[in-house]
Structure 1
Amino acid sequence: DLVENRQQYHSLLRQVCQDLAEWYFQDGRSVLAACCHLAVDNVQLAMGSLIRGNELELAACVGLVLGKLANQSTAYCLQLLARKYMTTPTW
């Protein structure tokens, strides 16, 4: 019974964090959305929020700190950053 209650609590916590993160992201606050995901150890969604929110430099730093857990997202982020800075401005 205790295990079942704990699982229900954890499931509810994840859902609330997911909903709050989506609300923050839709409001243009991708960093706060990523924080919500990190609060429940959802590294992939946190990195995705930062990347989708164009917080590439921050995503790269967070990915480097998180290490193996975020390797794939960090590599993708670094590719996007490379493209961003290799493109010549068209002013």
Structure 2
Amino acid sequence: MFFNKKNNDLENLRFRYDDELEDKEKIELKHNKSKSSKEKIPFKDIFAMIIAQYAIMIPIMLGACVVFGLLLFIIVKVLMRG
């Protein structure tokens, strides 16, 4: 059958969403969100995340500055000779 490839019988076949299952998923999702929102992140962890972000961003920014500086040097010294 088209909708039920695994089983030949129709007992596990659902044509539309089951409202009870959908409501259970919503309730579980709310419950999980409420648990995670109550947990307080310590300042040490927040500070560690900030340092990690800067450790990633600073080399990228320095590389961008070097590329921009080389591009500016090429434009000023080579292309505007005259």
With structure 1 as the length reference, what TM-score do the two structures score? 0.29
Richer in helix (by share): 1
Larger radius of gyration: 2
